[in-house]
Amino acid sequence: MIRVDESFIETKILFRKKYNLKKLLEDVGNPQNNIKVINVVGTNGKGSTSKFIYDGLRTKYQNVGLFISPAFIYQNERVQANGQYIDDESLKKIYEDNKKTFLEYELTFFEIWTFIAIVYFNAKGVEYAVIEAGIGGKLDCTNLFNNQVAVCLTSISFDHTELLGNTIEEIIDHKINITKLNNPVFISNDNIKYKKIINKYTSLNIVYTKKAKSNISYQKANVGLAKKVLDYLGIKVSTFIPPIGRFTILREKPLLLIDGCHNIDGLMKFTKDAKKYKNFKLVYASSKDKDYLTSLNFLRKKFKNIYITEFNHQKSWIVPNELKGKYTFIDNWQSFLDKNIYNNIVVCGSLYFIPQVLEWYRSNK
């Protein structure tokens, strides 16, 4: 398996004003359209909802794919089929076989991964695939899958505003317009507050969903959303297992809990579940492109013992000096966790940080 911190995809292009994957796919016969897809868009809950639907599809169909981001521990996680990550040999071969093409078409990092998923899914004979959007919807390269069965709109809030806009109306417009023809758009119960905005899309087949049972309160809307989609496809599922890193309890006594709540909406949902635990130290680290000031101000109102730290990743924030004066700054989070193994600890924040904590736990278990 190729770790997330290993160099693999050789491109520095993350965003472009004009994307070229569509042209490449057209030139090779649009292989993405051989696969029936459920597009999953939204701000929070995409990863959980995608996994719930993928697991459900696998109970009925033999060849099912899943495309998600970001990867947690291994880059292979981005592309899955039939319960298995893409193997190293297949991943490297697809990449090497098309490396010159990627350069020729000047594909971005996410476009390359999308193309790899398409090639792999076709090779595996995937019939259905759950496709999680990278950013947005209508301008995201996952919008190039035209054999669409349904769309899921998970919880909406402010994130990536530099690309999607500074209003909820703009963000919803980016997300919901991934919908093609009259395919149903299943709306998370978390978005009921935006019903007036969503109902303006009168040409769309909008289906509102209800919350369902879950031990984690913030997963209730995601479970309800996935359950409704699976019901639509004639699949009955009673058990929904969230991805690791979503309110994952690594140790009960003393408590060690990790959660990748990386924006204010995620944190608000997370605190409703976390408040049932008492006397814990909360460790928070953010990605540099997130609104960490808003997040920290919110956490400060909810919890007493807040510690902030940095982590070894190109997307890690560099904690400003003024925050080091307001919060207890941890220079080395591994040493901190080592010294506090008999204390209740909750770790939350960046989805690039949480996997490192998981690996620390597994290596020290």
pTM, rounded to two decimals: 0.90
- Specify the range with the lowest mean pLDDT, choosing from 187-196, 297-306, 330-339: 297-306
- The answer, yes or no, to whether residue 108 has pLDDT greater than 90, is yes
Q: What per-residue confidence (pLDDT) applies to 160?
A: 55
- Give the angle 227-231-233 at the CA atoms, nearest 5°: 120
- Whole-number pLDDT of residue 358: 94
| Residue whose entry in the numeric block shows the structure tokens 């070229």 | 20
Q: How many CB atoms lie within 10 A of CB 298?
A: 14
Give me the domains of the chain, ranges plus CATH numbers: 21-232 (3.40.1190.10), 248-364 (3.90.190.20)
Q: What is the mean pLDDT of the chain?
A: 92
With a CB cutoff of 8 Å and minimum separation 6, the contacts of 148 are: 36, 37, 38, 39, 179, 180, 181, 183
Backbone angles phi, psi at 210, to 5 degrees: -110, 160
What is the distance between the alpha carbons of residues 105 and 318, in angstroms, rounded to a whole number? Answer: 34
**Residue 164 confidence (pLDDT):** 62
Tell me: pLDDT of 142 over 70.
yes
CA–CA distance from 166 to each of 42, 171, 339 (Å)? 15, 8, 42
In one letter, which amino acid is 292? Y
* DSSP reduced 3-state for 123: helix
Mean pLDDT within 235-241: 93
- Stated as kind and residue range, the H or E segment containing 237 is none
Supply the DSSP string of 279-300, one letter for each residue: SEEEEEE-BTTS-HHHHHHHHH
pLDDT tens for each residue of 305-353? 999 999 998 889 999 998 998 899 999 999 999 999 999 999 999 988 9
Q: What letter represents residue 350's amino acid?
A: S
Judge whether residue 268 has pLDDT over 90: no
Residue with more model confidence, 272 or 205: 205
User: Residue 291 has what pLDDT?
Assistant: 87
d(CA 295, CA 349): 9
Indicate whether 14 pLDDT > 80: no
Q: What local confidence, expressed as pLDDT, does residue 163 receive? A: 58
Please determine, for residue 100, whether its predicted confidence score (pLDDT) is greater than 60: yes
Q: Quick one: average pLDDT of 212-225?
A: 94
Q: pLDDT digit string (tens) for 239-261?
A: 999 999 999 999 999 999 999 98
pLDDT(94) > 70: yes
| Of 52, 39, 64, nearest in space to 226 by CA | 52
